[in-house]
Structures are given as C-alpha cells and as structure tokens.
C-alpha cells in the first residue's frame, strides 16, 4: 500500500512538472509568434513540407514576403512536427494547407483552407492597408 501511494505521489509530481514546462514553452512560443506591431499583417501558413499543395504555397509565401517586406510577416508551421501539431490545434486546423491572416493586433481577420493563389493572398493582405 505504501509503494502504491508513493507511486501515485510521484506520478502527480511528474504530471505537474510536465504541465508547468508545457505551459512555459507555450507561452514562450506564443510570444515568439506574436504579431509585431511593425507588420500590418501576419500570414500564418499551416501545412507540411510533405504535402503537395502545401509545397506549392512555399514560393507564394516567399514572393509575398519579399514583395511586401516590412509590412507582412510570414510564419510557417509544419503539422508533422511536435510544435506544428500544437500550432495546428491552436488554430483549429482541419485541412492542410490552411492560411490564417492576422491583423496588426494579432486578431484573425481571414482564413482559407487549401491551395491559395498569390493574387488571392495579395487581395486578402491588402484588406489591412498593405501597399
């Protein structure tokens, strides 16, 4: 009985530590991914490097990042990584690729599922005053 009690206590302590460490990491990740007020739009792409439509989005993201440098921040999350799984849950992702557009304050103002052509991405970022 004493052994069982000790094991339960140890399990509780380990679960508490794990939870605290996870929350700490989530807070750090949230701060790292928080939109900067210097950017008018944060374009979050949730997909995978192993997904064909997701790979087709990569050149579009690069072009948008270069063309709208200083106005649009590009963030990519690969759902097949541990951190990417967490981010996919954070954004309630059902399908990849998914594009989430955040305004200057970090609030989502537009979302699209599937491949999204550059012209459509540009139309969405211009909703927030990107020139």
What stretches of 68-117 show up as alpha helix (H) in DSSP? 82-90
| pLDDT at residue number 106 | 94
What stretches of the chain show up as alpha helix (H) in DSSP? 2-33, 52-67, 82-90, 118-126
CA separation for the pair 77, 71 (Å, rounded): 20
Assess contact for 124 and 72: CB atoms under 8 A. Answer: no
Q: Which tokens go with 46?
A: 């949730």
| pLDDT at residue number 35 | 47
**pTM, entire model:** 0.71
Q: What is the pLDDT along the chain (131 residues), one digit of tens a residue?
A: 676 665 544 444 344 334 333 433 443 444 344 545 689 999 999 999 999 999 999 999 999 999 999 999 999 999 999 999 998 999 899 999 999 999 999 999 999 999 999 999 999 999 999 99
| pLDDT at residue number 24 | 37
- SS3 at position 126: helix
């Amino acid at each position: 009985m004493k052994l069982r009690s000790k094991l339960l206590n140890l399990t509780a302590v380990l679960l508490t530590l794990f939870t605290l460490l996870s929350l700490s990491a989530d807070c750090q990740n949230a701060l790292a991914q928080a939109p900067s007020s210097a950017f008018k739009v944060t374009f979050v792409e949730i997909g995978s490097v192993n997904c064909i439509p997701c790979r087709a989005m990569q050149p579009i993201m690069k072009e948008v990042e270069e063309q709208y440098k200083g106005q649009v921040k590009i963030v990519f999350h690969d759902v097949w990584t541990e951190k990417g799984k967490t981010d996919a849950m954070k954004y309630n992702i059902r399908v990849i690729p998914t594009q989430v557009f955040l305004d200057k304050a970090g609030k989502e103002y537009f979302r699209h599922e599937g491949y999204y052509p550059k012209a459509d991405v540009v139309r969405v970022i211009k909703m927030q005053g990107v020139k």
